[in-house]
């Protein structure tokens, strides 16, 4: 029972390169989220999904795209990386089903991304 | 725009001290407030508060919500070096049909010296 996993753990990109971050969960949760965390800024929501095949924008969606083709996976894509996207990225999941605490989010270990 | 404000932003204490961390919020359709602890990696869940005036406790940590004042405090008694972490406050607010979306504060960086 791995919980929430993220791939990769670390990555260095050059400006303009693209990449995809993968979040996988085995908790059968409906909701999944991508956050970025910068020093002194707390967690800011990029995109989220309330179920397979659905996605929605969060607070800071520009420069990112997401897909949720399978319930257990949530992908975050950077089409043309910029230095401003240097950050630590966290994936999180929550229940979403009736009588399940949808607001208690479980976090993955994070991906540290540096864009040069 | 919904807001969650934490204070202080950073705090340095010595082992054995008692600390109080604050969180205030301005959100529409408030449902619950959550506290997370973040050490070097992912945030981990501490408490969820939904009712005003009811204290939640876990060992040396406790938290209470004041809906009238739109705020919450997190107390840590007899602090230990292992309490050093960022403490995040988040508020669950329903907008339209969206459930489960949390609004996070910037966090309080607590450092406990031996």
Strand partners, A112: A10, A88
Q: Which of B32, B26, B42 is nearest to B86 (CA)?
A: B42
CB atoms within 10 A of CB A87: 21
DSSP 8-class letter at B8: -
CA geometry: angle B5, A62, A107, nearest 5 deg: 55
pLDDT per residue over B39-96, tens digit each?
988 999 999 998 788 888 899 999 999 989 999 999 999 999 999 999 999 998 776 5
B99–A31: do the CB atoms touch at under 8 Å?
Answer: yes
Write down the residue that tokens 């992908």 correspond to. A75
Distances in whole angstroms, Cα of residue B52 to Cα of each of A35, A63, A76, B60, B87:
29, 40, 37, 21, 21
The pLDDT, as a whole number, for residue B52 is 81
A44–B104: do the CB atoms touch at under 8 Å?
Answer: yes
pLDDT in tens, chain A (116 residues): 679 999 999 999 999 999 999 999 998 898 999 999 998 888 999 999 988 999 999 989 999 999 999 999 999 999 999 999 999 999 999 885 555 667 789 999 999 999 99
Please check whether residue B96 touches A, CB under 8 A: no
Q: What distance in Å separates the CA atoms of residue A73 and residue A23, rounded to the nearest whole number?
A: 6
Q: Which residues of A touch B (CB under 8 A)?
A: 31, 33, 35, 40-45, 48, 50, 56, 58, 90, 94-96, 101-110
CB atoms within 10 A of CB B84: 15
């Amino acid at each position: 029972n791995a919980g929430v996993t993220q791939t990769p753990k670390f990555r260095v990109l050059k400006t303009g390169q693209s990449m995809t971050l993968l979040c996988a969960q085995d908790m059968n949760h409906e909701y999944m989220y991508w956050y970025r965390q910068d020093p002194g800024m707390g967690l800011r929501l990029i995109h989220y999904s309330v179920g397979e095949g659905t996605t929605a924008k969060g607070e800071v969606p520009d420069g990112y795209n997401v897909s949720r083709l399978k319930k257990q996976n949530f992908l975050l894509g950077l089409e043309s990386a910029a230095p401003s996207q240097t950050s630590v990225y966290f994936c999180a999941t929550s229940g979403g089903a009736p009588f399940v605490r949808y607001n208690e989010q479980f976090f993955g270990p994070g991906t540290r991304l540096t864009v040069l | 725009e919904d807001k969650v404000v934490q204070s202080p932003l950073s705090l340095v204490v010595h082992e054995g001290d008692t600390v109080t961390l604050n969180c205030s919020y301005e959100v529409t359709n408030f449902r619950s407030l959550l506290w997370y602890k973040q050490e070097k990696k992912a945030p981990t869940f501490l408490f969820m508060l939904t009712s005003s005036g009811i204290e939640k406790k876990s060992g040396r940590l406790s938290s209470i919500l004041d809906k009238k004042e739109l705020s919450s405090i997190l107390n840590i008694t007899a602090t230990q070096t292992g309490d050093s972490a960022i403490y995040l406050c988040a508020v669950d607010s329903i907008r339209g049909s969206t459930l489960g979306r949390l609004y996070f504060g910037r966090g309080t960086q607590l450092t406990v010296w031996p």
